[in-house]
Amino acid sequence: MSDIRCVISARCRPALSLLVLAVVACGDDVRQGPPPPLVTVGEPMRRDVQNYFQFTGTTRAIEFAEIRARVQGSLEQMQFDPTTFVDSGDVLFVIEPAPYQATYNEAQASVASAQSELARAESDLERVSLAIQSNAVSRQDLDRAQATRDQAEAAVLGARARLEKAAINLRYTKVTTPITGQVSRNLVDLGNLVGATEPTLLTTVTRIDPIYVYFSAPERVVLQILAAQNDPANAVPDTSIGRVLIATAIDEGFPHGGRVDFVNNTVDPATGTIEIRAVIDNSDNTLFPGLFVRIRLLGGTTENAILVQERAIGTDLGGKFVLVVEEAENVVNQKYVKLGPLQDDGAVVVTEGLDGTERYIVNGMLRARPGFPVTPQIEAEVSGGI
């Protein structure tokens, strides 16, 4: 029996040895495990930042005029090139002036005739007034002479009124622009009859320098801006408050600037917003009425603000968060934050949640899990090695 045990023991000895080695090897793997994932970390920046609120709006002309025919006639001349700039008082169209010139001449003749009749009536009245002193004429003759003189005066006034009306119509044959701006195309071709049934629209003129931008802002934003402007604690007023920057669909950044010049006096009860208008410099004439634009309404500056890179911001059901690597054991901690405006360099202002001394994950957020360690690598070191 002992011999059989020895034989079995001898045969099993190699297998037992392999089993022991396998167990030992597995034990080593469990103890070592995979290394913590590599992430890139950075420190929050601190600097003074410009606060702003962002909206969308539309541009409108600061002045707009419809050029219409105010007298009837054939359109004879067009004295402008479409889309060019014209000055107030420039002649844009000429409506056939000949009939109105004739009417004006006739009115002038009527005035001259009426003035002649008035002179004769005044002379007759003067002679009758002298004659009545010697009882050469009756009182009735004097009254008749005075009435004739008064009628002649009224006739002169009527003739002058007709002359003035004829002069106005003659001036209307030269259609001028009441404002300075950019003229559109002609809406009626030469030779066509205009002003027959209504004042015919001939073209339009818009003044676009400067130009208006209209947008609606929540009442909370407007109240904050007004409070900041009127805050007596500001010994040196912040001149940026109330400034507006805008950008079109093709602009990089916000190259056009101006100031708010109008805030409506009522809040829209349906939306809780207030209409705001800004005047924007357009000396290069690159903005046109009707454009949709992005708007930044500046609201003052924040000194020594905390900023992190936008790519380091995560979102879940709890809100916006940043993954922070604790100094002690390089363990990841999730911190919820409140954000301010996005800056042009891609940094975001953090108004609550960070004190500015943390190390936060810039790259590798998907490999990091809150409560587990990571292998942090400073962002500057990574950038220097590339």
Tens digits of residue pLDDT in 202-244 = 999 999 999 999 999 999 888 888 877 776 655 445 667 778 9
Map residue 197 onto helix, strand or coil: coil
Residue 30 pLDDT exceeds 70:
no
Assess contact for 161 and 108: CB atoms under 8 A. no
Sheet of strand 91-95: strand arrangement = 174-176, 91-95, 73-78, 193-194
pLDDT category of residue 24 using cuts at 50, 70 and 90: very low
What is the Rg, in whole angstroms, of the alpha carbon atoms belonging to the chain? 45
| Better pLDDT: 233 or 81 | 81
Tokens of 141: 């003759």
Q: Can you give the pLDDT at residue 225?
A: 82
Q: Can you give the pLDDT at residue 31?
A: 57
Assess contact for 19 and 356: CB atoms under 8 A. no
Residue 119 pLDDT exceeds 70:
yes
Assess contact for 324 and 39: CB atoms under 8 A. no
| Better pLDDT: 72 or 15 | 72
Distances (CA, A) of 119 to 125, 132, 217: 10, 20, 71
Map residue 153 onto helix, strand or coil: helix
Q: Can you give the pLDDT at residue 231?
A: 66
Tens digits of residue pLDDT in 55-70 = 999 999 999 999 999 9
Residue 28 pLDDT exceeds 60:
no
Residue 111 pLDDT exceeds 50:
yes
Tens digits of residue pLDDT in 290-313 = 999 999 998 878 889 999 999 999
The overall average pLDDT reported for the chain is: 87
Question: By CB neighbour count within 10 A (0-12 exposed, 13-18 middle, 19+ buried), where does 64 fall?
Answer: middle
Q: Can you give the pLDDT at residue 237?
A: 55
| Better pLDDT: 357 or 10 | 357
Neighbouring C-alpha atoms within 13 Å toward the C-beta of 310: 9
Average pLDDT, stretch 79-83?
Answer: 94
Tokens of 9: 């023991």
pLDDT category of residue 7 using cuts at 50, 70 and 90: very low
Please report the domains of the chain, with CATH numbers, ordered by start residue: 98-172 (1.10.287.470)
Could you identify the residue written with the tokens 């408050």?
241
Tens digits of residue pLDDT in 169-191 = 999 999 999 999 999 999 999 99
Average pLDDT, stretch 23-40?
Answer: 67
Beta carbons within 8 Å of 232's beta carbon, 6+ residues apart = none
Residue 8 pLDDT exceeds 90:
no
